């Protein structure tokens, strides 16, 4: 049967154009992200550790991001009805395009399924590689905590891992209930499981936020310790000296900047002997002058993000918290983290 | 909710789980990871589950959509008796098959999915559902025109009911008997091609 091109264009043209635009967007996103992680200098070491798995998992993640954002739009029935009925959408062609909303929803859904498969497979391989290629040199980059850590533990004890597993299970329930046979015979199952999309999105928000721990690339550690009397420092004096020597040997003496403060001065004795030579010169009397310290750190790390980790009483915590939010003229950002054991 | 046939959903889930097990198993054996034996097991279990679950069972009410080419497997699955018919047995079987695949990272997902399918089968069994094979009945071919005895006695266009009821009952019966064949049209019918 010969096709009339005019009819074909009227019936299929705009629909195919939109599909083409959507497809190009996906391909572009995948390609760009893949190249970024394959060649970007800031991911060089991570790429050495993980290889193709890194690029595939990130590229598929960006495609998933796009499609998860788009998939809800065609199901906003009130919005569609409003557009259809108003003067905003003048042409019949556009109105007929809106009729295809459910098809677009299904297309995005299928894409999410496929790329979730890619993403999960790539991350499972990544987990394995994190565990097998664990290196002492890149502790901060590695999600694993020691060599040959069981990758299943990585999966279930990290926020992205756990939320990822739950999302896959939710997706499994939703997909198996969305097949044509089920919709036709037991619409209830399809309807109730599809409402799990809310849970899926909550998990997705958490999944993505778990990734934010990566950007703390450690360049220098300022270790500030405030104690009342000198004996308290003995607990960690050995460890601190060992660390100090280690970094001296590795020719990065300024990697850890140790500052010990003795807040009470009665009965003071410097840490005795040659054994703790390194610490003697780093011992200060009185409370730390936080403002000056923050200014110095800001000056040395212009425009960077500095993580501040406080473990202590609430008076110090309040001071540090306020200082973290304070403006500085170097564009440095201080992120405040607190932990307390009392 | 009383009319929901859980078995149908469980069937879809089990089929999908089988495929996930096969995929995970292939990744595990091809990558030659440690404990790849579990990967090989996973492929075998996945294939078995897929074959068992492929023929869809008959719905209690209404017609069931058959999967493409399922009638061949239906014959095989029917032979398995209670293994295929009883959903309690299926639930336990799937749970048992799922466990060994849980030891390997690549096939862990398949375990989870098959376990969920197993629990839905258990739910179906509680509701008293069971698997009945879809049998295709041989179509009787009626002789063409065999049931047509006489042409319709009162075809349209029909005059309104009053016109039809005007003569008395006996006369109507008599006239019906007399002009039992083609009826008299109130208006001349001309076949015009527009």
B113–A169 CB contact, under 8 Å: yes
**Of all residues in chain B, what percent carry a pLDDT higher than 90?**
33
Query: In the predicted model, is pLDDT for residue A273 greater than 60?
Result: no
Predicted confidence at residue B154, as pLDDT, reads 79
* More confident of the two residues A95 and B90: B90
- Count A/B contacts: CB-CB distance under 8 Å: 61
Do A131 and A235 fall within a single domain?
no
Residue A253 counted as domain residue: yes
Predicted confidence at residue A337, as pLDDT, reads 85
Distance CA B6, CA B101 (A): 25
Cα dihedral value B185, B187, B188, B190, nearest 10: -100
In a mutagenesis test of the A interface, which of B54, B65, B105, B124 is the best target, namely the one with the most A β-carbons within 10 Å?
Answer: B105
Distance CA A93, CA A58 (A): 37
Q: Which residue of A has its CA nearest to B34?
A: A128
Do A138 and A256 fall within a single domain?
no
In a mutagenesis test of the B interface, which of A181, A183, A190, A193 is the best target, namely the one with the most B β-carbons within 10 Å?
Answer: A181
Residue in the block written with tokens 């730390």: A288
In a mutagenesis test of the B interface, which of A119, A128, A175, A185 is the best target, namely the one with the most B β-carbons within 10 Å?
Answer: A185
A177–B27 CB contact, under 8 Å: no
The residue-averaged pLDDT of B93-97 equals: 95
Q: Which residue of B has its CA nearest to A189?
A: B4
Map residue B100 onto helix, strand or coil. helix
A128–B33 CB contact, under 8 Å: yes
Do A11 and A152 fall within a single domain?
yes
Residue B143: band (very low, low, confident or very high) from pLDDT cuts 50, 70, 90 = low
Residue A183 counted as domain residue: no
Do A101 and A237 fall within a single domain?
no
Give the minimum alpha-carbon distance from A121 to chain B in angstroms, rounded to a whole number.
Answer: 8
B65–A181 CB contact, under 8 Å: yes
* More confident of the two residues B172 and A263: A263
Query: In the predicted model, is pLDDT for residue B171 greater than 60?
Result: no
In this complex, is the C-beta atom of A52 within 8 Å of any C-beta atom belonging to chain B?
no
Structural domain boundaries, residue A226: 221-338
Contact criterion met (CB below 8 Å) for B164 and B158: yes
Contact criterion met (CB below 8 Å) for A147 and A134: yes
DSSP label at residue B63? -
Nearest to A124 by CA among B109, B191, B181, B48: B109
Residue A161: band (very low, low, confident or very high) from pLDDT cuts 50, 70, 90 = confident
DSSP label at residue B35? T
Give the minimum alpha-carbon distance from A114 to chain B in angstroms, rounded to a whole number.
Answer: 12
In this complex, is the C-beta atom of A141 within 8 Å of any C-beta atom belonging to chain B?
no
pTM score of the predicted model:
0.66
User: HEC profile for chain A?
Assistant: CCCCHHHHHHHHHHHHHHHHHHHHHHHHHHHHHHHHHHHCHHHHHHHHHHCHHHHHHHHHHHHHHHHHHHCCHHHCHHHHHHHHHCCCCCCHHHHHHHCCHHHHHHHHHHHHHHHHHHHHHHHHHHHHHHHHCCCHHHCCCCCCCCCCCCHHHHHHHCHHHHHHHHHHHHHHHHHHCCCHHHHHHCHHHHHHHHCCHHHHHHHHHHHHHHHHHCCCCCCCEEEEEEECCHHHHHHHHHHHHHHHHHHHHCCCCCCEEEEEEECCCCCCCCCCCHHHHHHHCCEEECCCCHHHHHHHHHHHCCCCEEEEEEECCHHHHHHHHHHHHCCCCCCCEEEEEEECCC
The residue-averaged pLDDT of B37-55 equals: 93
Residue A81 counted as domain residue: yes
Residue A227 counted as domain residue: yes
Query: In the predicted model, is pLDDT for residue B172 greater than 80?
Result: no
In DSSP terms, which residues pair with A222 in a beta bridge?
Answer: A257
Residue B75: band (very low, low, confident or very high) from pLDDT cuts 50, 70, 90 = confident
b/e code A91-100 from CB counts within 10 Å (16+ = b): eeeeeebeee
- Rounded (10°) angle between helices B6-30 and B87-101: 20
Distance CA B111, CA B150 (A): 66
Do A152 and A231 fall within a single domain?
no
Residue B180: band (very low, low, confident or very high) from pLDDT cuts 50, 70, 90 = very low
Query: In the predicted model, is pLDDT for residue B174 greater than 60?
Result: no
Query: In the predicted model, is pLDDT for residue A138 greater than 70?
Result: no
Residue A290 counted as domain residue: yes
Residue B178: band (very low, low, confident or very high) from pLDDT cuts 50, 70, 90 = very low
Predicted confidence at residue A193, as pLDDT, reads 94
Contact criterion met (CB below 8 Å) for A276 and A304: no
Contact criterion met (CB below 8 Å) for B57 and B133: yes
Q: Which residue of B has its CA nearest to A117?
A: B20
Q: How large is the ipTM?
A: 0.71
Residue A184 counted as domain residue: no
In this complex, is the C-beta atom of A148 within 8 Å of any C-beta atom belonging to chain B?
no
In a mutagenesis test of the A interface, which of B6, B12, B25 is the best target, namely the one with the most A β-carbons within 10 Å?
Answer: B12
A182–B112 CB contact, under 8 Å: no
Do A129 and A33 fall within a single domain?
yes
Contact criterion met (CB below 8 Å) for A206 and A163: yes
Predicted confidence at residue A293, as pLDDT, reads 92
The residue-averaged pLDDT of A117-143 equals: 78
Structure tokens at A318: 């309040």
Predicted confidence at residue A178, as pLDDT, reads 94
Contact criterion met (CB below 8 Å) for A29 and A63: yes
Residue B2: band (very low, low, confident or very high) from pLDDT cuts 50, 70, 90 = low
Predicted confidence at residue A218, as pLDDT, reads 73
Of B1, B12, B112, nearest to A176 by CB-CB distance is B12
Do A36 and A151 fall within a single domain?
yes
Query: In the predicted model, is pLDDT for residue A230 greater than 50?
Result: yes
Domain end point (choices A137, A157, A177)? A157
CATH number at residue A328: 3.40.50.80
Residue A158: band (very low, low, confident or very high) from pLDDT cuts 50, 70, 90 = confident
DSSP label at residue B3? T
Domain end point (choices A107, A137, A157)? A157
* More confident of the two residues A151 and A268: A151
Interface of B with A in 138-167 (CB under 8 A): none
Predicted confidence at residue A252, as pLDDT, reads 82
In this complex, is the C-beta atom of A113 within 8 Å of any C-beta atom belonging to chain B?
no
User: What's the number of domains chain A is made of?
Assistant: 2
Domain end point (choices A106, A139, A157)? A157
* More confident of the two residues A52 and B96: B96
Predicted confidence at residue A268, as pLDDT, reads 57
Residue A25 counted as domain residue: yes
Give the minimum alpha-carbon distance from B12 to chain A in angstroms, rounded to a whole number.
Answer: 6
Containing B172, the helix (H) or strand (E) segment is helix B169-178
Residue A25: band (very low, low, confident or very high) from pLDDT cuts 50, 70, 90 = very high
Query: In the predicted model, is pLDDT for residue B142 greater than 80?
Result: no
CA distances from A26 to A78, A116, A200, A260 (A): 27, 14, 21, 54
B105–A155 CB contact, under 8 Å: yes
Model confidence pLDDT, tens digit, residues B27-37: 888 777 778 88
In DSSP terms, which residues pair with A225 in a beta bridge?
Answer: A260
Residue B110: band (very low, low, confident or very high) from pLDDT cuts 50, 70, 90 = very high
Interface of B with A in 61-120 (CB under 8 A): 62, 64-65, 105-106, 108-109, 112-113, 116
Q: Which residue of B has its CA nearest to A184?
A: B65
Of A151, A165, A182, nearest to B12 by CB-CB distance is A182
Do A133 and A276 fall within a single domain?
no
The residue-averaged pLDDT of B46-64 equals: 89
Give the minimum alpha-carbon distance from B16 to chain A in angstroms, rounded to a whole number.
Answer: 7
């Amino acid at each position: 049967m010969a096709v009339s091109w005019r009819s074909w264009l009227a019936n299929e043209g705009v629909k195919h154009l939109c599909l083409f635009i959507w497809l190009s967007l996906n391909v572009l996103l995948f390609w760009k992200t893949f190249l970024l992680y394959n060649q970007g200098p800031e991911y060089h070491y991570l790429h050495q550790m993980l290889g193709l798995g890194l690029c595939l998992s990130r590229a598929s993640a960006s495609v998933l991001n796009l499609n998860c954002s788009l998939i809800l739009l065609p199901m906003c029935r009130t919005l569609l009805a409003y557009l259809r009925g108003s003067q905003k959408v003048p042409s019949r062609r556009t109105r007929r395009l809106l009729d295809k909303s459910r098809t677009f929803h299904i297309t995005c859904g299928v894409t999410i399924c496929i790329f979730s498969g890619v993403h999960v497979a790539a991350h499972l391989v990544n987990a394995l590689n994190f565990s097998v290629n664990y290196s002492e040199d890149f502790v901060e980059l590695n999600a694993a905590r020691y060599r040959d850590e069981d990758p299943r533990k990585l999966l279930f004890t990290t926020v992205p891992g756990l939320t990822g597993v739950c999302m896959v299970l939710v997706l499994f329930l939703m997909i198996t209930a969305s097949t044509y046979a089920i919709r036709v015979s037991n619409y209830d199952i399809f309807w109730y499981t599809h409402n799990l999309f809310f849970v899926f999105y909550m998990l997705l928000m958490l999944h993505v936020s778990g990734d934010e721990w990566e950007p703390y690339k450690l360049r220098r550690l300022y270790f500030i310790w405030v104690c009342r009397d000198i004996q308290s420092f003995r607990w960690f004096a050995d460890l601190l000296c060992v660390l100090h020597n280690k970094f001296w040997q590795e020719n990065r003496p300024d990697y850890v900047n140790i500052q010990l403060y003795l807040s009470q001065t009665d009965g003071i004795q410097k840490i005795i002997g040659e054994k703790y030579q390194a610490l003697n010169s780093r011992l200060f009397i009185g409370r730390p002058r936080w403002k000056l310290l923050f200014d110095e750190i800001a000056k040395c790390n212009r425009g960077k993000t500095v993580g501040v980790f406080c473990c202590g009483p609430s008076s110090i915590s309040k001071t540090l918290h306020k200082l973290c939010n304070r403006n500085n003229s170097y564009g440095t950002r201080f992120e405040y983290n607190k932990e307390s054991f009392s | 909710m009383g009319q929901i046939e859980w078995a149908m959903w469980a069937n879809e889930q089990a089929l999908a789980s089988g495929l996930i097990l096969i995929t995970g198993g292939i990744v595990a054996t091809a990558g030659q990871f440690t404990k790849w034996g579990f990967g090989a097991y996973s492929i075998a279990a996945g294939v078995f589950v897929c074959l068992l679950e492929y023929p869809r069972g008959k719905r209690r009410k209404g017609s069931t959509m058959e999967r493409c080419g399922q009638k061949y497997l239906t014959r095989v699955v029917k032979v398995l008796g209670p293994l295929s018919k009883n959903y309690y047995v299926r639930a336990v079987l799937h749970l048992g098959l799922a466990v060994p695949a849980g030891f390997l990272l690549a096939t862990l997902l398949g375990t989870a999915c098959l376990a969920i399918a197993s629990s839905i089968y258990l739910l179906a069994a509680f509701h008293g559902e069971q698997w009945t094979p879809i049998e295709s009945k041989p179509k009787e071919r009626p002789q063409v025109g065999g049931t047509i005895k006489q042409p319709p006695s009162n075809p349209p266009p029909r005059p309104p009911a009053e016109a039809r009821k005007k003569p008395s009952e006996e006369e109507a019966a008599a006239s019906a008997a007399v002009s039992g064949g083609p009826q008299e049209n109130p208006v001349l019918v001309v076949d015009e091609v527009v």
